[in-house]
């Protein structure tokens, strides 16, 4: 989880993160309303947070839906399109794990239908 040394890459990441925040899904909005301002176990979460890494000598990044730096935990909210990109998501999770960060995933429907159970599941990771 290096900080990028390339200001152009940082600018691209910032721009994409802002765009994703503006166009968040209903499930992401619902989750953010419950995570923001240290509402869950007084932990700080970031929304649409860039994780920079070096892949084959070239620096790039993934954008995590939600990130708790203190616990090195990424929360991903997956929409329907994730069904078609399971291999890509698995690789993404493996790369993020190599950065020393755990990843947990939930489907949009799970978040919208049962946010309290989702928050309890996240809480378990925060208590480790």
CATH of the domain at 22: 3.40.960.10
In a domain, 2, yes or no: no
Domain that holds residue 26: 7-126
pLDDT band, residue 1 (cuts 50/70/90): very low
In a domain, 11, yes or no: yes
Asked whether residue 2 carries a pLDDT value surpassing 60, the answer given is: no
**What would the mean pLDDT of 13-32 be, rounded to a whole number?**
96
Query: What's the number of domains the chain is made of?
Result: 1
Q: What is the pTM of this model?
A: 0.91
In a domain, 1, yes or no: no
Q: Which residues pair with 54 in a beta bridge?
A: 59
Q: What is the bridge-based pairing of β-strands 73-78 and 102-107?
A: parallel
Asked whether residue 3 carries a pLDDT value surpassing 70, the answer given is: no
């Amino acid at each position: 989880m290096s900080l990028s040394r390339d200001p152009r890459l940082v600018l691209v990441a910032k721009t994409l993160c802002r765009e994703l925040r503006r166009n968040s899904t209903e499930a992401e909005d619902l989750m953010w309303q419950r995570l923001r301002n240290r509402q869950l176990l007084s932990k700080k979460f970031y929304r649409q947070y860039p994780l920079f890494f070096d892949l084959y000598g070239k620096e790039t990044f993934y954008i995590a839906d939600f990130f708790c730096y203190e616990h090195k935990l990424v929360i991903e909210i997956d929409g329907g399109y994730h069904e078609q990109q399971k291999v890509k998501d698995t690789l993404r999770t493996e790369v993020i794990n190599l950065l020393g960060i755990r990843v947990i995933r939930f489907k949009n429907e799970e978040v919208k239908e049962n946010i309290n159970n989702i928050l309890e599941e996240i809480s378990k990771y925060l208590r480790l």
